[in-house]
Amino acid sequence: MTQPAIRYQLALDLFLESVIKPDQELRHDAATKGVYAELMEIRQHVLTYLNTLKEVHIIEMGDESDDIETSKTLLTKQASQQA
């Protein structure tokens, strides 16, 4: 992997850790407001998206499946921006 790709993977790993790490205050606030299940659903969507990003950026040699994964990533990103 090239240096920018390594740096991107490290940053992505850190961000993934921040989403996985429980935030008790946020979860308490969500429970108080009655939206805990929705918060956990959104969290799962974000984790899925982050894992897709990891898969796309790990690939060094491109083929047609990479184009499909890249398209999925772009569609997921667009959908999250519209929500």
Query: In this structure, are residues 39 and 30 in contact, taking their beta carbons and an 8 Å threshold?
Result: yes
* Confidence (pTM): 0.62
Domain of 58 in residue numbering reads as 3-82
In the prediction, which pLDDT does 59 show? 55
Could you give the number of structural domains in the chain? 1
22 phi/psi in degrees, rounded to 5 = -65, 135
pLDDT tens, position by position, 27-79: 999 999 999 999 999 999 999 888 888 877 765 545 556 667 677 777 777 77
Task: Name residue, tokens 């240096």.
Answer: 3
